[in-house]
Chains A and B, each alone.
Chain A
Amino acid sequence: MQVQEFIEKLYQESQAQGINQFQIDYSQSENFSLKAMDGKIEKRSFKNVQHLSFSVKEGKNIGSIESDKLEEGDIPLIIKEAKENALLMDNEEENFFFGEKREYPVVKRNTPIKDYETLDKEQFLLRLEKAAYAQDKRVKKVISCYLNEGKYQTAIRNSLGLNVSEGGTWAFAGIYLSVEENGIIKTASEYVKFDKKDDLNPELMAQKAVAKALKKLSPISIPSGKYKIVFENECFAELLNVMKNLFSATSVEEKHSKLGDKLMQKIAADGVTLIDNPLLDNGYRTRAFDGEGYPSQTNVIIKNGVLQTLLHNLRTAHKFGVTPTGNGIGGGSRGVSYSNFYLENGNLSQDEVLKQTKDGVYITDLTGTHAGYSAVSGDFSFGAEGFLIKNGKIDKALNQLTISGNVYDLWQDIELVGNDLKFTPDGCGSPTIAVKPMQISCN
């Protein structure tokens, strides 16, 4: 059965059953990926899937069912489950579907440029792998050498008249490898998001990845203690990804954020500006509307250290008495989502940040971030990799590290903000950041 036909039948059947308010979220995605290993294309993968979420509002609550089984015979079950879930919940705050007629912003997304079609993807990957081994004889293993491309389409339609859709494409390629010297093994990776052939330079990618890994060899140990810290841009972006929930209204409700009563108060150092911008040109998470169909808008969350707003969906905005910020999630989740979430550039180059820091530790990678953070207290302790900073320059690599602190202190302790904003594929971005001394342990 064709998808449009299925959605139409589900819509008709819901109306026929007298369901007053309901919504259908539909997505479809296709993906192609390649992996090279030992001079051969080891894996080719193809995907073509669809997903549906059907939601019903009964009283104040919205109940849903997620399904990727779109068969006509299942329509009664889908309606029954969603309705049953809605009737079961006893939240006092009202949930909403969005149905206002609104203008939607036009956003600019990456689109594949013609010359990409002429790219021999398999040859590119084989060249990338070969180039990595050719860089240096200390390259032990190219662990992963991959290319991924895909397209997606999402649509939301509800009984209040909402009927929106958007789609996009994406492509990226990367390499992850290890190097070995005197029994010490270190790893590094490099990836590129691309939309034209010229974005892909296998020799340059291999060179960057190998250089990153080689720098980590011959690590030294330092005594445990407090050190001034400089975070590499991508590394601080990863940290933002860990602590972004601080700014969601749902986290405040769940006591996973202490920022609920800090609006218009100074929660971060001067010069710190934090933004969630779904309208960013060619961003990883650029979108015209959120998961509830609300039009996207740019939200300045922290301006010069002062908290301006939390991020809301339709329900929390109503509860907190504010306008929605366009950060809703649809389907069964109804939580708060982020788009392109980043710290705005300052005006110092990375070299200048290091120079002004003079002595300390430069952190390039964090590990175990999913486990070492307590959302209720804000305390964190992560594994890390990094280098010594000596006389304002990056010096020797360090043995395995841990770095510990508290996120609320961290925002206040930011001392210098670089001008080299970079995004990671999860949509978070940051320039190089220097902070006051933090507790470091070294293996």
Chain B
Amino acid sequence: MSLPGLGLAEMRRSVGGWWDSDLAYRFRRSPVAILAALVGLALLVAALGAPVLAPYDAFDPAAANAADARLPPGSAGMFGDPYLLGTDPQGRDMLSAMLYGLRTSLVVGLASVAAAAVAGVLLGLVAGYFGGVLDAVIMRAADVQLSFPAILIALLIDGVTRTAMPRELHQELAVPILIAAIAASFWVQYARTVRGLVLVERSREYVLAAKVTGVSTWRILASHILPNVLGPVLVIATINLALAILTESTLSFLGVGLPPTQPSLGSLVRIGNEFVFSGDWWISVLPGLLLVLLSLSVNIFGDWLRDALNPKLAS
């Protein structure tokens, strides 16, 4: 779809507008928000830099030594290799596995939030701007879906594709399927919010004026209405990022998300789960703690952003 003159300038201006407003001031005044942002940023850097930062290649079977399996944190391996955070049942370095797992979790989380936001915003724009039957159908579907928990929908979508596809094909497509499943369970909130905002904006004078002067519908949507809905969408996206990451790791923990060849934090916890009983706690607890750190920092930052940008969104 072509969006003529996407209104990038307007978008940039409105983004810059928030930053210059007292958002930056509030940010400086909130140590909790600063801390959450710093932790989140550090985790993002660690995840993106995993190939460089990780002491071992988590995907290279040669780097794992079965003789070094399940060593506690701080041990040295058979050949004197240091394992800062211990090793997993395959003798893989925990720190490296966690860094790669963090990367997978973040990528899936960000991608599914982006997909959900794009789909939700588009559906919301369409429903709000055109109204009528289209609006009724989209919003009814949203109503129905909203009465089911997101994780169940993602689980069922993933489960249905898994049963419908040959096993190998599903393994290959596991990441995009998972992203689609999570995105499909989170689009409703964007659609509802955007639709509400569009209904307000649609009747504003500048939109009416643009309509009268014969500006095309998509141009009005893209250059007049879209910039105004970006703020709330950003807030929802931040809060949903934490939810999406948790959903991904939960599905992977349940063994229905990502295959073992592509470990995320959730699947690492799953691998370690059976060794909890023998006291080898670090194999599941350490990736779990990293996940909590990620989820908390994103959640707290999202919470702050919501309050700072628009107290009315608090519900």
Chains A and B bind each other? no
Interface positions of B (Cβ within 8 A of A): none
